[in-house]
Amino acid sequence: MLLLAFDTATPAVTVALRGDEGVLAEHTEVDARRHGELLAPGIEKVLAAAGCSRTDLTGVAVGVGPGPFTGLRVGLMTARALGDALDIPVHGVCTLDIVAAAVAADGAFAVATDARRREVYWAAYDVTGRREGEPAVDRPAEVADRLTGLGVAGQGSRLYPEQFPRALDPELPSAAVLAELTARLLREDPERLLPPEPLYLRRPDAVEPGARKAVTQA
């Protein structure tokens, strides 16, 4: 197996390559405005570091969000294009689950990421790290009321410390974690993997203009 993994649903453009024995290379840059510029070079860097080429890949893992429209689209379009060009499977994973998989907690916890508009994408996880329910988007104060006493990983806990005073690591997702999580799910629970479709939770800011109104003569 040679699995290429990447996530662009947060400010982190993170890429990793995993072989049969584990992660071979990882590259991450944090820039919320340059996903389109950073992803392709990041892919080439991890392939070069491992001495591999794209034709060696046997699968792709991609974070499907939730996340802002523009960054999320970059990752998903790239994943689909690679899958089509190389005729290899593309596996989707919820970005909140990627963050959760790296949390070291001795009890239940939550993950909250930046949804902009003074909101967060969030989900709660049980003591085993398994998500409880579907991801949601809400204002931090509303989320805090539901998560009383829980530690919160993700960028949301750094942006809204008054609502989430028990900040947990990590702050951002890691493609190395995505690669390991995908490999484990392929072995143990493949039904938990998702199609490479965006998990937006709300409409993108940019929408197509409506039909023009007819102009009548007075």
> pLDDT (tens digit, 9 = 90+) per residue, 43-97?
999 999 999 999 999 999 999 999 988 899 999 999 999 999 999 999 999 999 9
Q: Is the pLDDT of residue 108 over 60?
A: yes
Query: What is the pLDDT confidence band of residue 205, given thresholds at 50, 70 and 90?
Result: very low
- Confidence at residue 137, expressed as pLDDT on a 0 to 100 scale: 96
Percent of the chain with pLDDT over 70: 92
Peptide bond into 170 cis (omega under 30): yes
What does the block give as tokens for 51? 């001495």
- Confidence at residue 218, expressed as pLDDT on a 0 to 100 scale: 45
d(CA 102, CA 3): 19
Which class is 3-96+173-192 in CATH? alpha beta
Instruction: Find out whether 73 and 198 touch, Cβ atoms under 8 Å.
Output: yes
Q: Is the pLDDT of residue 195 over 70?
A: yes
103-168 under CATH 3.30.420.40, yes or no:
yes
Sign of CA dihedral 89, 126, 106, 63: positive
SS (H, E, C) the chain: CCEEEEECCCCEEEEEEEECCEEEEEEEEECCCCHHHHHHHHHHHHHHHHCCCHHHCCEEEEECCCCCHHHHHHHHHHHHHHHHHHCCCEEEECHHHHHHCCCCCCCCEEEEEECCCCCEEEEEECCCCCEEEEEEEECHHHHHHHCCCCEEECHHHHHCCCCCCCEECCCCCCHHHHHHHHHHHHHHCHHHCECCCCCCCCCCCCCCCCCCCCCCCC
pLDDT digits (tens, 9 = 90+) for 137-193: 999 999 999 998 899 999 999 999 999 999 999 999 999 999 999 999 999 999 999
d(CA 198, CA 76): 7
- Confidence at residue 200, expressed as pLDDT on a 0 to 100 scale: 86
Query: What is the pLDDT confidence band of residue 206, given thresholds at 50, 70 and 90?
Result: very low
In the chain, ranges of CATH 3.30.420.40 domains: 3-96+173-192, 103-168
All residues at 6 or more sequence positions from 7 whose CB lies less than 8 Å from its CB, including other chains = 14, 62, 63, 75, 95, 98, 173, 175, 178
Global pTM reads 0.91
d(CA 22, CA 59): 14
- Confidence at residue 212, expressed as pLDDT on a 0 to 100 scale: 52
Identity at 180, one-letter amino acid code? E
